[in-house]
Amino acid sequence: MEKYLIVGKILKPHGVRGMMKIISYMHKPEDIFTAKVFYKLQNFIPIDLRVHQKLDNQNFICTSNNVLNRLEAEKLHSCFLFIEKSTLSPTSKGEFYIEDLKKLTVIDAMDSRIGIIRDVYNFGAGDIIEISFDEGELEMYSFNQDTFPNVDIKAGTILFIPPTKI
């Protein structure tokens, strides 16, 4: 398991005084300002983000003591923001951190390996699981109880029941 989870991204500089536009991936987007957040260049470096302006539900203009001018903000363009996984509260039954789903072994109803979870997406209408099948195919499926009835993070497996084609 990874020690850090991605919780946001620095999108671009804003103005000349080191402000940055960021997007928060957190369930409650404002929580990114109360968590101990890191960015990564060669190693993980703490950054103290403070909201300057809320643009919409997930996007903010921020300031930081670490970033004092536009040139410093430009160096962080497209950097992901991380938190230490150990600081997060445990998930409830049926809830998962996206990073925990990635790389799970996909099994069928006979407990045979058929692939791995390559990625998880959300385009606004719910989570989508991308499976890299062992035969080489890459397909996406809606992450729901019917298609993925059993997720076992500790065992590293996820049961896949293909949806019925009409």
Structural domain span for residue 10: 4-86
3-state helix, strand, coil in the chain (%, to 5): 10, 45, 45
Number of domains in the chain: 2
Q: Phi first, then psi: give them for residue 48, nearest 5 degrees.
A: -100, 105
Average pLDDT rounded to a whole number, residues 132-138: 95
**13 to 70, 93, 164, 165: CA distances (angstroms):** 6, 39, 47, 47
Residues 71 and 119 in one domain: no
Please say which residue of 31, 64, 86 terminates a domain.
86
Average pLDDT rounded to a whole number, residues 18-47: 89
CATH of residue 127's domain is 2.30.30.240
Please say which residue of 86, 120, 147 terminates a domain.
86
Question: pLDDT by residue (tens digit) across 72-119?
Answer: 999 999 999 999 988 887 788 888 888 889 999 999 999 999 999 999
**Can you count the helices (H) and strands (E) in the chain?**
2, 13
In which band, very low, low, confident or very high, does the pLDDT at 1 lie, cut at 50, 70 and 90? Answer: very low
Residues 80 and 15 in one domain: yes
Residues 30 and 82 in one domain: yes
